[in-house]
Amino acid sequence: MMFRRILMRLRYWLHHSRRDRLLREEMEAHVDLKAEELMNDGMDQANARAAAMRAFGNILLKQEESRETWIARWLGDLVQDAGYGLRTLRKQPGFAAVAVLSASLGIGACSTIFGVANYALFHPLPVQEGERLVSISNRSLTRGKVGSVTWPDFEDLRQARLLEGATAFFPFLPATIGIRGDPQHHWGSLVTANYFDVVRPAFLVGRGFDATRDDRPGEPVVVVLSYRLWNSRFAGDRSIVGRTIDLNGRKVTVIGVTAPGFRGTESMFFSEFWVPFSTTQNLEQFGMKADRLQDRSSQWLQVVGRLRDGVSQQAAAAEIDAIGTHLRSAYPATNKDRGFYVERAGQVHPGFRNLIRLFFLVLLGVTVLVLLTACANVANLLLARASSREKEIATRLAIGAGRGRVVRQLLTESLILAALGGAGGYAVAQTGVRALARARVPLSLPVDLSMSLDYRVTLFCIALSLLTGVAFGLAPALRATRPDLVSALKERRTNGTTGRRVTLRDALVVGQVTVCTVLLICCGLFLRSLQAARNIDPGFAHRNVLLLAFDPGLNGYRPERVRALLDAVTDRVAALPGVQAVALTSSVPLNMEGTQNAFVPAEGEDSVSADIYSVSPRFFETLGIPFLSGEDFRPGGAGEDIVVVNQAVADKAYGGENPTGRRIRYLGRSVRIAGMVATTKSRTIGEEPRPALYFSLLRELRGNDSLSGMTLLVRTSGDPGGYTAVVRQTMRDIDPELALFEVRTMEAQISRALYAPRAAAALFGIAGIVGLIIATVGLYGVISFLVARRTKEIGIRMALGARKVEVLAMVMWRGVAVTTAGCAAGLALALAVSRATASLLYGIHPSDGVTFVGAIVLLHVTAVIACLVPARRAASVDPVGTLRCE
Amino acid sequence: MGKHDLLPGTLDMMVLKTLTRGTLHGYAIAQLLRQLSDDVLQVEEGSLYPALQRLELNGLVEAEWGTSSTNRRARFYKLTAAGRKKLASEMERYREMTGAIARVMGLA
């Protein structure tokens, strides 16, 4: 019954024009009958007809009421409103374009950020029943820091009864994979052999590890490749399964390739291959010390567990907590304040979470500001339009349209704008996400930002469009339907510029200018910071230096063979024509990563923390770091255990006295200070002088457990980039299996060190420029509108003798006043923001005068330009014409 | 004696009641309502049509085009079985209501 009724209503509605006609006919027949009857009673025709009409009531209204019973009225109204809205927008393409563009930019920016956050936070792992996977980390009970797990703790964790299985892995395993003499550097994971049983990704070909066999000593070493690695390095060759490939100079057998999309369980990091371990033999093969499997203090593993079917995460967390309690009492020495932390797997690595969170917060803050300015703009445009349609709206209200009905119609228009803006925003978001995915983060870690938009982003876009549509449409709509009818109908008020209508519009523009000021000042500060950073002296000669990183340990070099390799490399590269000096170092200055450790300057004194470098002889010469006293390491590295310190060590640990010749205690060794060099920038361009200790690389090579190997520094005459090919070839001649990674010039390295301020400057720059465009359009709109409304007043003024210049000044003054108000508010905000970001700024004061004054000048110049057109229009008002036409 | 507006919700019921007399067009219904109430009930005749549309949509009346006694094209309404049932229940409800109101007003 219900269903039939709905169908009937729909049919009525579909045929509503015909039904309308018939209903009308029926009603008219009624009136005619009545009139006829009255005439029969002796009334004349005109009177009879009038009386019949009177008795009937308002035909139109009755018709409307009847129609209402056919279908919920709003549906018909909606179609009508949408049609009307579209027609009005088409008649004002300029207005529509500006509004839609503003909304697109705002919605697009927000959706991009949402898309990234969504991917990082919610992207489901492409594995079977991924919701049952949990990631288990250590948590420090005192500091709350979340981190990796030790092997002995993992052995206890995997006993948890509520877990079907648990796997431990080390996700940052660097390796060299060689294919026909083309060795390349890749990142993989070292995993327990049950990894694929626990995680269960889909396989393209082959299989995962056999937990009972694949990590036993004596079995052949096997590897699983990711789709990405298989596709890029092995050209998607399915017959690869069962064959051996060259991994770190050893033959390993490929047993499977995972399906596309699977990149490991860590969000934002990727794994290109997986090798099994759990025996000391496998560990050593990958350059790790075997005693890590007994060490209760070495936290290096990520743990992922699979919950038993039907077990909740809370229940498992409780059991795992109990294991943590047990471990605390059983091993107080190492586990004293260590607990466990259980969460859904596939999230951002806990060590980076705060950083990522901060990153998203800053991004979100900036984009919300942009969206707000965009909304203000559209609201302003709508307000302006509503005011100019005052008469139309007043007429509609006067002939009986309900206020709600008119508000709804105006809202429909703003929603159409917002919907178009949302569609544009989605396109912007797609471009934005793609651009972000291409961004290379300058860390030597396997970071992967590639991502896609899913239905959540689409929903977000739609929701945001609706929200902005209502947000920027409601106030203008309510305002427009409120005028007092009589005066609006009679004539426009001549002094329409006074009164509250303008205050709201002005306030919106002031708000836009405020936001714009903040964004521009932030951008300016970072740009100035970059400029300052470029001009500072890193403390070493950074031009004409080529850097090549390699890791002999990955290629199976034993320490005794490494020395021969390094000798060959330095000798042969140094012999190349144009090469002035060659050196090796464990870490490169301004790399943002590196070892830091404490040393004791003299027996009984407090230890001092310093950056630790292991360098070859001629390192200081190659980088042009001057010796202040003492001498360099001798070739060969044999003999006494010595260290070179920098000036900062003398200042921090020895009260500024030259410590050459004294002895320090470092890692239990007594080391003689052989020399002192000038202080260079070590981690970041903006840092205060940091103490650094330089040890002999050749001495330190024994038992080197380092992650990123070493870097060859080549000082060249002329552009170092031109030497890349010949140095590569020389290295290949020495060992064709040796992978070179991160080949770059020192200048590129330094500009990488400026990544954070550059990214910030770019972000604020883009946001600032978008904001500026939006605010300019807003200001232009407000002033144009003002001029249009005051045409008559201006005409009178000019008729009474006002000069063109005065009119021009009057209009311009208005625009400048609004801008100045916005700037003032923006300055106050920007001061607060720049204080907060002071740690990211180098070489300038957070309230840098040039930036602040520059932003104010830029805004005012833009404001003047935006006002110039309408102001000239005002000045060219023809007084006679205006007055006559009114 | 003045003229009174209808009690809300009673128009539908009265329209159904008039149709128990047979098939009628809109004007005839209006006439009948006026005559039966001795001109007391003041119905804007046009209000009949939304009511008729509503009744038709809910399947309480059926309508078809025909010719009036004066040879005019008119739409004739007829009570359906559902309409009869509805009328009976409405009248029952109405009786209860007026009885109750009369008792409260001390007229019973």
Say yes or no for a CB contact (<8 Å) between A34 and B54.
no
Write out the two tokens for B25.
């067009």
Q: Which residue of B has its CA nearest to A65?
A: B50
CA dihedral A207, A210, A216, A219 (to 10 degrees): -40
Express as a percent the part of chain A with pLDDT over 90: 19
Residue A399 three-state SS: coil
A39 CB within 8 Å of a chain B CB: no
What's A651's DSSP letter? H
Q: What are phi and psi of A420, to 5 degrees?
A: -60, -45
Say yes or no for a CB contact (<8 Å) between B45 and A65.
no
| Cβ count within 10 A of residue A469 | 25
Nearest to A66 among B53, B58, B73 (CB): B53
Least confident of A162-176, A313-327, A370-384, A445-459: A445-459
Say yes or no for a CB contact (<8 Å) between A57 and B47.
yes
pLDDT of residue A279: 64
Q: What are phi and psi of A878, to 5 degrees?
A: -95, 110
Q: Which residue of B has its CA nearest to A60?
A: B46
* pLDDT tens-digit series, residues A521-580: 888 888 888 888 777 788 888 889 999 888 887 676 777 788 888 889 999 999 999 999
Closest Cα of chain B to A69: distance in Å? Answer: 6
Cβ pair A665, A694 in contact under 8 A:
no
pLDDT of residue A385: 74
* pLDDT tens-digit series, residues A742-789: 778 888 888 777 777 777 777 778 778 878 887 887 788 778 877 877
Q: Is the pLDDT of residue A475 over 60?
A: yes
pLDDT grade, residue A450 (50/70/90)?
low
pLDDT of residue A706: 47
A153-163 burial, b at 16+ Cβ within 10 Å, e below that, comes to: bbebbbebebb
Q: Is the ipTM of this complex over 0.85?
A: no
Q: What are phi and psi of A739, to 5 degrees?
A: -85, 135
pLDDT grade, residue A320 (50/70/90)?
very high
What's A497's DSSP letter? T
pLDDT grade, residue A197 (50/70/90)?
very high
Cβ pair A715, A543 in contact under 8 A:
no
Highest mean pLDDT among A95-104, A701-710, B21-30: B21-30
* pLDDT tens-digit series, residues A854-880: 989 998 998 888 888 888 888 887 777
Cβ pair A127, A200 in contact under 8 A:
yes
Which amino acid is it at A397? L
> Which residues of chain B have a CB within 8 Å of the CB of A60?
none
Say yes or no for a CB contact (<8 Å) between B47 and A34.
no
Cβ pair A254, A241 in contact under 8 A:
yes
| Cβ count within 10 A of residue A150 | 25
- Residue A144 sits at the vertex; the CA angle it makes with A139 and A145, to the nearest 5 degrees, is 65
Q: What are phi and psi of B70, to 5 degrees?
A: -95, 20
Say yes or no for a CB contact (<8 Å) between B45 and A57.
yes
Average pLDDT over every residue of A5-33: 76
pLDDT of residue B47: 83
Say yes or no for a CB contact (<8 Å) between A56 and B44.
yes
Q: Parallel, antiparallel, or unpaired for β A133-140 and A595-599?
A: unpaired
Average pLDDT over every residue of A85-104: 81
Write out the two tokens for B11.
């128009």
> Which residues of chain B have a CB within 8 Å of the CB of A25?
73
pLDDT grade, residue A494 (50/70/90)?
very low
Least confident of A23-32, A199-208, A670-679, A834-843: A834-843
pLDDT of residue A81: 80
Q: Is the pLDDT of residue A2 over 60?
A: no
Say yes or no for a CB contact (<8 Å) between A9 and B72.
no
A62 CB within 8 Å of a chain B CB: yes
Say yes or no for a CB contact (<8 Å) between A23 and B27.
no
More confident residue, A209 or A14: A209
pLDDT of residue A76: 67
* pLDDT tens-digit series, residues A640-668: 889 999 999 999 999 889 999 999 998 88
pLDDT of residue A470: 84
How many residues are present in chain B? 108
Q: Which residues touch A871 (CB under 8 Å, ≥6 apart)?
A: A783, A787, A807, A808, A811, A812, A815
Cβ pair A76, A16 in contact under 8 A:
yes
> How far apart (Å, rounded) are the C-alpha atoms in residues B89 and B57?
19
> How far apart (Å, rounded) are the C-alpha atoms in residues A386 and A483?
11
More confident residue, B88 or A592: B88
What's A452's DSSP letter? -
Write out the two tokens for A487.
């005066």
pLDDT of residue A255: 93
Q: Which residue of A has its CA nearest to B59?
A: A5
pLDDT of residue A9: 66
Q: Is the pLDDT of residue A257 over 90?
A: yes
The strand order across the sheet containing B73-79 reads B24-25, B73-79, B61-67
> How far apart (Å, rounded) are the C-alpha atoms in residues A25 and A28?
5
pLDDT of residue A498: 43
> How far apart (Å, rounded) are the C-alpha atoms in residues A498 and A379?
19
Nearest to B72 among A29, A58, A62 (CB): A29
Q: Parallel, antiparallel, or unpaired for β A669-677 and B61-67?
A: unpaired
Say yes or no for a CB contact (<8 Å) between B46 and A33.
no
Tell me the pLDDT of chain A averaged across its residues.
82
pLDDT of residue A445: 57
Q: Tell me which residues of chain B have a C-beta less than 8 Å from any C-beta of chain A.
A: 25-27, 30, 44-47, 49-50, 53-54, 57-59, 68, 70, 72-75
Express as a percent the part of chain B with pLDDT over 70: 89
Closest CA to A565 of A398, A747, A382, A697: A697
Write out the two tokens for A23.
């209903």
Q: What are phi and psi of A52, to 5 degrees?
A: -60, -45
Q: Is the pLDDT of residue A483 over 70?
A: no
> Which residues of chain B have a CB within 8 Å of the CB of A8?
57
Give the number of beta-carbon pairs within 8 Å between A and B.
Answer: 72
Nearest to B46 among A9, A59, A68 (CB): A59
Least confident of A287-296, A304-313, A349-358: A349-358
Q: Rounded to an integer, what is the distance from CA A37 to the centroid of its chain? A: 80
Closest Cα of chain B to A55: distance in Å? Answer: 6
Residue indicated by tokens 């205050």: A503
> How far apart (Å, rounded) are the C-alpha atoms in residues B58 and B62?
10
Cβ pair A425, A465 in contact under 8 A:
yes
SS (H, E, C) A654-715: CCCCCCCCCEEEECCEEEEEEEEECCCCCCCCCCCCCCEEEEEHHHHCCCCCCCCCEEEEEE
Q: Which residue of A has its CA nearest to B66?
A: A26
Q: Is the pLDDT of residue A70 over 70?
A: no
pLDDT grade, residue A428 (50/70/90)?
confident
- Residue A593 sits at the vertex; the CA angle it makes with A592 and A596, to the nearest 5 degrees, is 115
> How far apart (Å, rounded) are the C-alpha atoms in residues A365 and A110?
9
Closest CA to A416 of A469, A478, A479, A476: A469
Q: Which residue of A has its CA nearest to B82?
A: A1
> How far apart (Å, rounded) are the C-alpha atoms in residues B59 and A12?
14
Nearest to A9 among B49, B50, B57 (CB): B57
> Which residues of chain A have a CB within 8 Å of the CB of B50?
62, 65-66, 68-69
pLDDT of residue A487: 57
> How far apart (Å, rounded) are the C-alpha atoms in residues A372 and A465?
13
Closest CA to A863 of A790, A783, A762, A760: A783
Q: Is the pLDDT of residue A442 over 60?
A: no
Average pLDDT over every residue of A336-341: 87
Nearest to A62 among B47, B68, B74 (CB): B47
| Cβ count within 10 A of residue A404 | 9
Q: Rounded to an integer, what is the distance from CA A612 to the centroid of its chain? A: 33
Nearest to A69 among B50, B68, B70 (CB): B50
Share of chain B residues as helix, strand and coil, in percent rounded to the nearest 5: 55, 15, 30
* pLDDT tens-digit series, residues A214-233: 777 777 788 999 998 898 88
First to last CA, chain B: 23
pLDDT of residue A500: 41
Say yes or no for a CB contact (<8 Å) between B46 and A62.
yes
Q: Is the pLDDT of residue A737 over 60?
A: yes
Write out the two tokens for A813.
């003054």
Closest Cα of chain A to B52: distance in Å? Answer: 8
